[in-house]
Chains A and B, each alone.
Chain A
Amino acid sequence: MPLSAPSLPHSPTIDQVGVEERVERLQKRSIKKASKVHALKLALSMIDLTTLEGADSDGKVRQLCSKAKHLHDAMPDLPHVAAVCVYPTLVACAKQELTGTDIKIAAVATGFPSGQYPRSTKLADTRFAVEEGADEIDMVISRGHFLAGEYAYVFDEIAAIKDACGAAHLKVILETGELGTLDSVRKASDLAMHAGADFIKTSTGKVQPSATQPVTLVMLEAIRDFYQATGKKIGMKPAGGISTAKISLQYLVMLRETLGEDWLTPDLYRIGASRLANDILMQLMKERTGAYQSGDYFSKD
């Protein structure tokens, strides 16, 4: 019988207590004044403005795209968000609205959010979204296969989807809320990066808990180790549950102190969120004017 290498890259084990302590310490960073404004604008520019509802329609997506382009025109010097994130059937509408801007279109695909579909369906889903004009594909891994120890299946599937993406960037959603342990989060991160992910992403937003800071730290450390070993920079996208400016700053502190300068860009870091943008806008206005404004001064889309 021929020898074969283990199918899984050697993933280090993770001590949950240690990770939680590190997160707690990072949360103690105090971000004030100029550094706060800088970071809030950076966070805005990293948002994947998201709507992923069964009730989404062209009308809803047009509203969302408008918000992406005009976050709060009353305030000068604001960046625009990085992307809008929609279901495949709404990509064409978003494309129409965002042509001529730098705002990317991300589409969830591969039987989002459960991924419980045959591979042929997932590939067709992906190709459809790319053909409609998606710049980025947010795929979900087959958690059932992963938890059953069928790592090769998951690896091959990610590689096949990557292939189907063509020029589009691939974000691989691990759905960490279903993986159970940080050891599994690390293993799935390594698997996804080796299989060709451009980004790894925590969650669909449809499972609780979605993004958490301990999970995000473990994924950032996996990205760092992968970069040290291969020189390849993989992006990170925590998604779901990041709804306030304060929490988004904590995520950025974690990013800064784990991956440093090179990752402080929307090219390598995204925040999947629907409500976050307005809270950041309120904070920025507060820094500018010294007073909080009513939520009614900011468009809700």
Chain B
Amino acid sequence: MSKAVDSRTDRPESKIRFSTSWSYAPAPETAKATIAPRYDLFINGKFVTPAKGKYFATTNPANEKKLSEVGEASAEDVNKAVKAARSAYDKVWSKMPGKERGKYIYRIARILQERARELSIIESMDGGKPIRESRDVDIPLAAAHFFYYAGWADKLDYAFPGRTARPLGVAGQIIPWNFPLLMAAWKIAPALATGNTLVLKPAETTPLTAMKLAEVIRDADLPPGVVNIITGAGETGAALVNHPDIDKIAFTGSTEVGKAIQKALAPTRKHYSLELGGKAANIIFEDATIDQAVEGIINGIFFNQGHVCCAGSRLLVQESVYKTVIGKLQDRMETLVVGDPLDKNTDIGAINSKIQLEKINEYLEIGQKEGANLWQTSCDIPSSGYFCRPALFLNATQSHRITQEEIFGPVVAIQTFRTPAEAIEKANNTPYGLSGGVWTDKGSKIFKITTKIQAGVIWANTYNKFDPTSPFGGYKESGMGREGGLHGLAPYVELN
């Protein structure tokens, strides 16, 4: 384990005492979830053993115990999966009327709803996120994406009026570990609706709900080869990206890997869409509804342990309300429950992996060395597993690395500004451009400010709101292409 960092737990701006005589007893989710000891690769409608017979373990980050093991797909397996997808595309899926495709997608959505409880438990066990979020956000939203795109399957002529939308062919899809099932839904649903077949690779630390989704797809009776799900790490992903018979790559993950993919694909005919990192500014103006803005800061940076590409990881507060905001924010943070992801009262679960925890702790040290003041809450954290107390950096500056680089953890860097112009300049002074937040009670100001921020999604007086009908994606180094909504169909079609 990495060494503990220094922290101050006093709150000079507040007199409220939160260590209470009444604390919440454990309230664990007790339903049973079935996790097989081993999952094979899902290719051509069947679970098959990997060609080289290799498997790797996936662990529960809350207790470091092994949950299961999954197949490690080699280049040979990737080839097999792409071939299956090609054959399904040529023989079945591209010829099937949209109305029929839609029926299959609706079926997936319904089965996901039926198995929602089990899926949320597995999502929390494999990835560390609190059950409150997997139950109320991840799984319902994943089902909603399938429902939404199922509706488009037979209406593509209306999505692109006057033009004919043709599928691209076989899509290779690589997804991250922060929203495993939800990202799979974001990728698979529009691809199927537009008539593509696909090979999906989940992240190596969170493969379990993807394998459960493979079971769902099998049970939904999808034609073999339309959806193939193969597990593995970076090498498997690279084999998929570089496979000559892939027509499109859809990637969500780090900007670093995104750039490598872009380089690899530049000399090819392959289409691609990338959803990469972010360092969003959440801007609090003095005329904001402060108590609700504080809640928005909490939702912005502590949702999913801060493992969110669109997290509000930079907080810009107008100087005139700085003390009030910080006082209230620290009060609110003191009430956050950090611990067992399966406890219904947990607000912040386990950091996804040891590597990620080490990276976060490194940034906590870097920030202090740079001269920012680290403050963390006084809550207890479990002695085993990967946990991090929610943190904020006071007096961060634009020149600090903690302000410039994506930490991907429950850490917010706080700066002040004096005028709207200064807020806009600071918000845009980043290579990223995925998201942002604006808090003011003045409607006209919302329109004025949001149009000047270069980001794909900007929330006004709320944060981290997702809906299948709303496009999502980045400016600048945060990526290209949009997922969700009508816009999310475009990266999977060619228009004639």
The answer to the question of A70 belonging to the interface, with a C-beta cut-off of 8 Å to chain B, is no
The answer to the question of A7 belonging to the interface, with a C-beta cut-off of 8 Å to chain B, is no
Check A15 against B461 for contact (C-beta < 8 Å): yes
From B19, B26, B291, name the one whose CB has the most chain A CB atoms within 10 angstroms. Answer: B291
Interface residues of A in 11-54 (CB under 8 A from B): 12-15, 17-19, 21-22, 28-36, 38-39, 42
User: Distance (Å) between the CB of B172 and the closest chain A CB?
Assistant: 38
**Contact of B441 (CB < 8 Å), options: A15, A228, A257, A260:** A15
Residue-by-residue, is B438-453 near A (CB-CB < 8 Å gives 1, otherwise 0)? Answer: 0001000000000000
Given that A12-B290, A21-B295 are known contacts, is A32 also in contact with B18, CB under 8 Å in the complex?
no
Q: Give Cα distance in the complex from A30 to B292, angstroms.
A: 23
Check B25 against A32 for contact (C-beta < 8 Å): yes
User: Distance (Å) between the CB of B229 and the closest chain A CB?
Assistant: 32
Check B21 against A261 for contact (C-beta < 8 Å): yes
User: Distance (Å) between the CB of A178 and the closest chain B CB?
Assistant: 22
The answer to the question of B91 belonging to the interface, with a C-beta cut-off of 8 Å to chain A, is no
Q: Give Cα distance in the complex from A210 to B220, angstroms.
A: 49
Check A33 against B289 for contact (C-beta < 8 Å): no
Check B24 against A31 for contact (C-beta < 8 Å): yes
* Chain B residues with CB below 8 A from A17, complex form: 292, 461-462
* Chain A residues with CB below 8 A from B344, complex form: 28-30
**Contact of A32 (CB < 8 Å), options: B26, B132, B289:** B26
Interface residues of A in 101-149 (CB under 8 A from B): none
The answer to the question of A227 belonging to the interface, with a C-beta cut-off of 8 Å to chain B, is yes
Check B295 against A22 for contact (C-beta < 8 Å): yes
Interface residues of B in 320-344 (CB under 8 A from A): 327, 331, 335, 344
Residue of B nearest to A26 (CB): B335
Given that A14-B291, A33-B25, A264-B22 are known contacts, is A228 also in contact with B345, CB under 8 Å in the complex?
no
* Chain B residues with CB below 8 A from A262, complex form: 16-17
The answer to the question of B14 belonging to the interface, with a C-beta cut-off of 8 Å to chain A, is yes
* Chain B residues with CB below 8 A from A264, complex form: 20-22
Interface residues of B in 322-373 (CB under 8 A from A): 327, 331, 335, 344-345
Q: Give Cα distance in the complex from A256 to B21, angstroms.
A: 10
The answer to the question of B269 belonging to the interface, with a C-beta cut-off of 8 Å to chain A, is no
The answer to the question of B268 belonging to the interface, with a C-beta cut-off of 8 Å to chain A, is no
Residue of B nearest to A22 (CB): B295
Q: Give Cα distance in the complex from A227 to B293, angstroms.
A: 20
User: Distance (Å) between the CB of A192 and the closest chain B CB?
Assistant: 19
The answer to the question of A246 belonging to the interface, with a C-beta cut-off of 8 Å to chain B, is no
The answer to the question of B224 belonging to the interface, with a C-beta cut-off of 8 Å to chain A, is no
Size category, A interface: 20 to 34
Size category, B interface: 20 to 34
Check B289 against A12 for contact (C-beta < 8 Å): yes
State the majority secondary structure of interface residues on B.
loop
Check A34 against B25 for contact (C-beta < 8 Å): yes
User: Distance (Å) between the CB of B165 and the closest chain A CB?
Assistant: 37
Q: Give Cα distance in the complex from A42 to B23, angstroms.
A: 13
Check B462 against A224 for contact (C-beta < 8 Å): no
* Chain B residues with CB below 8 A from A18, complex form: 289, 291-293, 295-296, 461-462
* Chain B residues with CB below 8 A from A13, complex form: 287, 289, 441
The answer to the question of B27 belonging to the interface, with a C-beta cut-off of 8 Å to chain A, is yes
**Contact of A38 (CB < 8 Å), options: B22, B290, B296, B331:** B22
User: Distance (Å) between the CB of A174 and the closest chain B CB?
Assistant: 18
Check B19 against A231 for contact (C-beta < 8 Å): no
Q: Give Cα distance in the complex from A252 to B18, angstroms.
A: 14
The answer to the question of B8 belonging to the interface, with a C-beta cut-off of 8 Å to chain A, is no
Q: Give Cα distance in the complex from A152 to B420, angstroms.
A: 36
The answer to the question of B15 belonging to the interface, with a C-beta cut-off of 8 Å to chain A, is yes
Interface residues of B in 221-240 (CB under 8 A from A): none
Residue of B nearest to A257 (CB): B335
Check B461 against A29 for contact (C-beta < 8 Å): no
The answer to the question of A259 belonging to the interface, with a C-beta cut-off of 8 Å to chain B, is yes
Given that A32-B26, A35-B25 are known contacts, is A231 also in contact with B15, CB under 8 Å in the complex?
yes
Residue of A nearest to B135 (CB): A28
Check B18 against A30 for contact (C-beta < 8 Å): no
Residue of A nearest to B26 (CB): A32
* Chain B residues with CB below 8 A from A231, complex form: 15
Q: Give Cα distance in the complex from A32 to B441, angstroms.
A: 39
* Chain B residues with CB below 8 A from A28, complex form: 132, 136, 344
From B13, B136, B345, name the one whose CB has the most chain A CB atoms within 10 angstroms. Answer: B345
Check A260 against B27 for contact (C-beta < 8 Å): no
The answer to the question of A221 belonging to the interface, with a C-beta cut-off of 8 Å to chain B, is yes
Given that A17-B461, A30-B27 are known contacts, is A256 also in contact with B15, CB under 8 Å in the complex?
no
Check A35 against B461 for contact (C-beta < 8 Å): no
User: Distance (Å) between the CB of B295 and the closest chain A CB?
Assistant: 5
Q: Give Cα distance in the complex from A17 to B299, angstroms.
A: 14
* Chain B residues with CB below 8 A from A228, complex form: 13-16, 327
Check A261 against B461 for contact (C-beta < 8 Å): no
Q: Give Cα distance in the complex from A154 to B292, angstroms.
A: 28
User: Distance (Å) between the CB of A232 and the closest chain B CB?
Assistant: 11
Check A32 against B27 for contact (C-beta < 8 Å): yes
Check A29 against B335 for contact (C-beta < 8 Å): no
Check A15 against B25 for contact (C-beta < 8 Å): no
Residue-by-residue, is B271-301 near A (CB-CB < 8 Å gives 1, otherwise 0)? Answer: 0000000000000000101111101100000
10 A-B contact pairs sorted by A residue (CB < 8 Å): A12-B289, A18-B295, A30-B24, A30-B27, A30-B345, A35-B22, A35-B23, A228-B16, A228-B327, A257-B335
Q: Which 4 A-B pairs have the closest CB atoms?
A: A18-B292, A30-B27, A35-B25, A15-B289
20 further A-B contacts with Cβ under 8 Å, apart from A15-B292, A227-B15, are A18-B292, A18-B295, A19-B291, A19-B292, A21-B462, A22-B295, A28-B132, A29-B345, A30-B345, A32-B24, A32-B27, A38-B22, A39-B22, A228-B13, A228-B14, A252-B22, A260-B16, A261-B19, A262-B17, A264-B21
